[in-house]
Amino acid sequence: METGMSTKPLALVTGASGGIGEAIADELGKAGYDLLLIARSKGLLDNVARRLSHQHGVEAETLELDLAGPGAIARIETALQGRVPHVLVNNAGYGLAGRFSAQSRDKQIGMIDLNVTALTDLTYALVGKMEEAAKKPSTHRRGVINIASTAAFQPGPLMAVYYATKAYVLHFSEALNYELRGTGLTCLAICPGGYYANDTTQHCEECVGGCSLCTAGNLLSCQSCRTDSNTSVPYYKEIFNEWCVVDCEDGEFEVLSDNSCQTCSAPCILC
């Protein structure tokens, strides 16, 4: 980032190329923070940076980076060029659905590397400097924002590792917030529910609502969409056929008043 050019506070946001990360970056830009946006998708990231810089009159720099890769922290420190963020947003992460023993080992370990290790490592690299910087008065709030999940509050069969990583994020954040009392910093854990973060063109042509793969849907519903425009429904069907005791025809489920699946002979994990 360019140093000596801006007197605005800085916010560093990971996973900022879309979804929750982009939304938080938007709000921070609106509040007058310069932005360092980090993600693996350079094209999407650059588009977000240009939009936010234009809309809010702040500097918005980008860093294309795999946070779980070697040397990630060193590259971030180089990009900061001595600036200390007022706000660190740890949003980058991913999840997998399916039986633990049937999923790729590398993808599950990679999930821990990103959701847990990279988040912890980046926080450790910056929070001491942020504490020192917080000794100087500022009109802007300072702190760490970690994206956990409603998954953090209970175990999640068929998403066992993902739920466990989010439990870590929540408990780490709560403990760190306690330790930061009196420093001028806070640590906040955000626990959003399920949503579909990718391009909205990837949902179904005829949506009846409640599909976890639609932006209008609710992840905690067993109702599905009936027409597939891309690859959403086959994936949805594959996962839900595994969750349900019986093989539901065409991947369609009827939601009853008690939120159970009519075609299942036992409670569904999402009911």
Positions annotated as catalytic residues are 162
Calculated CA dihedral for residues 149, 154, 155, 159, nearest 10 degrees: -30
Token pair 């990971």 in the structure block, residue: 14
> What is residue 116's DSSP assignment?
I
Tokens linked to 182: 């009196």
Non-local (6+) Cβ contacts of 9 within 8 A are 32, 33, 34, 85, 86, 87, 138, 140, 142
Between CA 157 and CA 147 the distance in angstroms is 21
CB 203, CB 218: distance < 8 Å: no
